[in-house]
Structure 1
């Protein structure tokens, strides 16, 4: 089964919980639904076998749906949680939103409600998975950015000036500028030597036009003096900035 979705349905009415589980699994073959008749048991199951989504009633003895949601959010801030309740009011909805609910759905008569619920569950899980993939990609990119042995800087253009957003450790080491010193300032103001502003301006124009730079030879200023570099770049899709990657070739043999 491609991309199965594990759903935990929590309702103190076991018949309704089982009915919800049955209809959800009929509506979507990706679903595997487990039930719990109390929030306390639900918390145990979440700890033992974390689901992809929780569907919970509101009115339950001992701990209501909002309290259950808050308990879940203490450890699992990104777990999709749908409050599926027969008690509907602006106050309940407001409390649910404040507690971090993913979605809120009123119980209704008839089987159509399960089609709506199945769609909400599927959308919530797909979105959560996409966000986790994005976060993982960002984490991996940040790791790559930090570990690059070549000085690398990310800039965004403001009024045609390349404003530094972040630099990697290799940039700090080679150029001699601490990130805290240079971030949010113009890159050119720090590393373009006097007399080379026109060449830097042409490069900025090319980058803002979405053009790639492949091994452009430049002279750039470091805290230890001017050095020669090969400059490459990667441009944002919207041409608002990108990454500049420098390779120090000052000591290369002629």
Structure 2
């Protein structure tokens, strides 16, 4: 009895079986269809057709025999890796040579399952399920990374385009060094960002009268306070607003 590992495989994930023996190809297709939920398994006896399918980006996983007349499983693996170095590839073979296993690992095989008895089909099904789950997790992680990168790029663009002076300071550091400043800040206070990044905010912003930027930045998020600051063009009043930018709130 096949026992699923780690949840249900997502629907419509195509698995392609490659075996030059039509009977074995049909058997593997039938067993994997029966043992795995939510996968569409197809079989072929032609490795060249399998490569065409990989070129088109069709399979989510490839299961291949080793002993085939025109191109063996290892050669097929090398060819597949030239097309897609992340596609799950499970070698299912009756040849148990350590040399073959070693070469398969070097070529980037996802798993190596030896034929032999009904239990080998269960082992194969488990291997395919793990491979599909791992690939799905990697794709979700990559999608999340890209989404975060896009969000960061958007925030960076917004920060750069703010029409009022803005800086990012490390609120946990007593001197509150500046880690970033927008063009409006560099223009208004006439500073060179390449030479002043890392400087204490007090050395860049001179407050006239009571109050300080450090005191405002050290307060809770959402605090707003009016300060008069000296600039090369004279004294100007600014409405200083504190916004946390770090994940743990240590930058403002």
- Sort the TM-score into its range (normalised by shorter chain): 0.5 to 0.7
Q: Are positions 1:192 and 2:197 aligned together?
A: no
Picking from 39, 49, 55, the partner of 1:47 is 55
Q: Are positions 1:128 and 2:141 aligned together?
A: no
Q: TM-score, normalised by structure 2?
A: 0.67
Picking from 210, 226, 233, the partner of 2:244 is 233
1:233: how far off? Answer: 2.8
CA contact 2:55–2:83 (8 Å) conserved in 1: no
Could you say which residue in structure 2 is the equivalent of 1:250? none
RMSD: 4.3
CA contact 2:178–2:199 (8 Å) conserved in 1: no
- 1:123-162 map, 5 Å: 123-148=130-155, 149-151=157-159
Map Cα deviations across residues 21-59 of structure 1 (whole Å, 9 max, x no partner): 111111123222111113212112233461111001122
- 1:159-174 map, 5 Å: 173-174=183-184
Query: CA distance change for structure 1 residues 178 and 144 in 2, over 3 Å: closer, same or farther?
Result: farther
Unmatched runs of 5 consecutive residues or more in structure 2: 1-8, 161-166, 207-211
Q: Aligned equivalents of 1:91 and 1:155: distance in 2?
A: 58
Query: CA distance change for structure 1 residues 107 and 190 in 2, over 3 Å: closer, same or farther?
Result: farther
SS of residue paired to 2:83: coil
Q: TM-score, normalised by structure 1?
A: 0.66
Q: Are positions 1:36 and 2:47 aligned together?
A: no
1:230: how far off? Answer: 3.0
SS of residue paired to 1:232: coil
Query: CA distance change for structure 1 residues 155 and 231 in 2, over 3 Å: closer, same or farther?
Result: closer
Q: Aligned equivalents of 2:169 and 2:82: distance in 1?
A: 37
Work out the number of aligned pairs and report it: 219
Q: Aligned equivalents of 1:161 and 1:66: distance in 2?
A: 61
Query: CA distance change for structure 1 residues 231 and 100 in 2, over 3 Å: closer, same or farther?
Result: farther
The structure with the greater share of residues assigned to strand is 1
CA contact 1:151–1:174 (8 Å) conserved in 2: no
Could you say which residue in structure 2 is the equivalent of 1:18? 26
Query: CA distance change for structure 1 residues 61 and 138 in 2, over 3 Å: closer, same or farther?
Result: same
